[in-house]
């Protein structure tokens, strides 16, 4: 989909890929587990913005994102009821890449794909919750931390390091 032919490629995430996504999530997010059905629902609701990272015909990572509202943080491991009728952001629920495949700027390429899709949809922002101290990574991709105290309760399911961040595109 993007990037040189020899590198890992972002491709559409299919329903049959979800078992592999679940396995990668279990490895990468051992401390923040989510049910496979919860992850699958995001793909079902927003297939255009949920992608897999493929290297040598193997899924080595994934990105899950969906249209959403700024300032609203879906709790971890919870089903979405529905997507908003007039979304004002693409919410990046998760990007996870197997450790041995990191260092290729794949997350940056995923964010660039999302930004292009957001523009197509007339959406002006991306949003995410930074965990594991990744504020620096997201900042480098154009995100800014939003320290609204009203968000604290909404962030609680994401662990102590969680920071809500948004990017204007
Ligand atoms: C986040 C993740 C997807 C990034 O993978 P990637 O695209 O291969 O990222 P890279 O290794 O190419 O790093 C890109 C840049 O971010 C920096 N970076 C990587 N991890 C970082 C971290 N935890 N905190 C701050 N900066 C980080 C790198 O130093 C690099 O900087 P550079 O461009 O100046 O060299 C991957 O590290 C991962 O799967 N981590 C575990 C899950 C996770 O934290 N997901 C995000 C949850 S909010």
Question: Is residue 154 lining ligand 1, measured as CB closer than 6 Å?
Answer: no
Domains in the chain, CATH or no CATH each: 9-168 (3.40.630.30)
Report the run of H or E that residue 12 belongs to, with start and end: strand 9-12
Residue 84 and residue 76: Cα distance in Å, rounded? 18
- Residue 131 CB less than 6 A away from ligand 1: yes
User: Which atom of ligand 1 approaches the CA of 102 most closely?
Assistant: 8
CA of 82 to the centre of ligand 1 (A): 30
Task: Measure 137 CA to ligand 1 centroid, in angstroms.
Answer: 6
Ordered alpha helix ranges (H), the chain: 18-28, 36-45, 106-121, 135-140, 152-155
Nearest to 47 by CA among 29, 30, 27, 67: 67
pLDDT at 115: 98
Query: Ligand 1 mean position to 132 CA, how many Å?
Result: 10
HSE (side-chain half, CA atoms, 13 Å) at 134: 19
Ligand 1 centre to CA of 104 (Å) is 9
Q: What is the per-residue pLDDT for 6? A: 54
103 lines ligand 1 (CB under 6 A): yes
Q: Which residues pair with 110 in a beta bridge?
A: none
pLDDT at 7: 87
| Ligand 1 site, residue 132, Cβ cutoff 6 A | yes
Task: Quote the CA–CA distance of 104 and 41 in Å, as a whole number.
Answer: 28
The atom number, within ligand 1, closest to the CA of 132 reads 44
Residue ranges for the chain with pLDDT beneath 70:
1-6
So what's the pLDDT on residue 118?
98
Q: Decide if 169 contacts 88 (C-beta within 8 A).
A: no
Lookup result for tokens 């255009």: 48
Nearest CA to ligand 1 atom 43: 96
* Interacting residues of 64 by C-beta distance below 8 A, sequence separation 6+: 13, 39, 42, 43, 49, 50, 92, 93, 94, 95
């Amino acid at each position: 989909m993007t990037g040189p032919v020899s590198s890992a490629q972002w491709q559409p995430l299919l329903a049959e890929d979800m078992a592999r996504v679940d396995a990668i999530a279990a490895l990468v997010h051992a401390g923040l587990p989510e049910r496979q059905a919860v992850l699958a629902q995001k793909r079902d609701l927003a297939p255009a913005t949920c992608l897999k990272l493929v290297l040598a015909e193997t899924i080595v990572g994934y990105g899950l994102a969906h249209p959403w509202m700024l300032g609203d943080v879906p709790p971890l491991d919870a089903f979405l009821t529905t997507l908003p009728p007039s979304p004002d952001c693409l919410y990046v629920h998760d990007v996870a890449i197997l450790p041995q495949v990191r260092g290729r700027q794949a997350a940056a390429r995923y964010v660039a794909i999302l930004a292009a899709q957001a523009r197509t949809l007339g959406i002006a922002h991306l949003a995410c919750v930074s965990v594991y101290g990744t504020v620096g990574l997201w900042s480098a991709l154009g995100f800014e931390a939003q320290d609204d105290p009203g968000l604290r309760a909404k962030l609680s399911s994401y662990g102590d390091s969680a920071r809500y961040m948004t990017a204007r595109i």
